[in-house]
Amino acid sequence: MEESVRERENPGKGPADGFLEEILETFPGKRTDIKTYSPLALAYIGDGVYDLIIRTVVVERANRPANALHHATVKYVSANAQSRIVQALMDQLTEEELSVYRRGKNSKPHTTAKNATLADYLKATGFEAVLGYLYLAGRMDRALELVRKGIALAGMKL
């Protein structure tokens, strides 16, 4: 059987990467080479990955009513916040990550954010595409590193 892109790109897996494998084993199906995914498909999964990271941190920091959790989370998951984070990260991205980012940023989304400029929305889409790519490549360690560094470099406190 041919070695998958995931296996070639990340032979050592961490606990979060095991989660991806469990999902794929629980719901078997055709596996697609992640390099062929559209940038908007990568951004779609990356949006969920980023949201889960931020929600996990917010919930772990304090057991609060759901409305308070939502307000704490929104500061980080908006297109404006993600645009600030990715701009702060630009010199931290690898060539491969920059390529995925550019594809996401240059995509033609069919919607835009209500409270963000088109430029910020496209930067956020590029950032989400990178996170989606890293997640599907089994590289959650790198995704977590970028989120942590990006928040710090953007002068935000989580």
- The catalytic position among 47, 51, 91, 120 is 47
Q: Are 89 and 57 in contact (CB under 8 A)?
A: no
Q: How many helices (H) and strands (E) does the chain have?
A: 8, 0
5-40: burial string, b at 16+ Cβ within 10 Å, e else: bbeebbeebeebbeebeeeeeeeeeeeeebeebebb
Burial class, 144, CB count within 10 angstroms (exposed 0-12 / middle 13-18 / buried 19+): middle
Told to judge if 17 belongs to the known catalytic residues of this protein, a careful annotator would answer no
Distance CA 123, CA 105 (A): 5
Radius of gyration, alpha carbons of the chain:
16
Angle (nearest 5°) at CA 46 between 155 and 136: 125
Which residues are catalytically annotated? 47
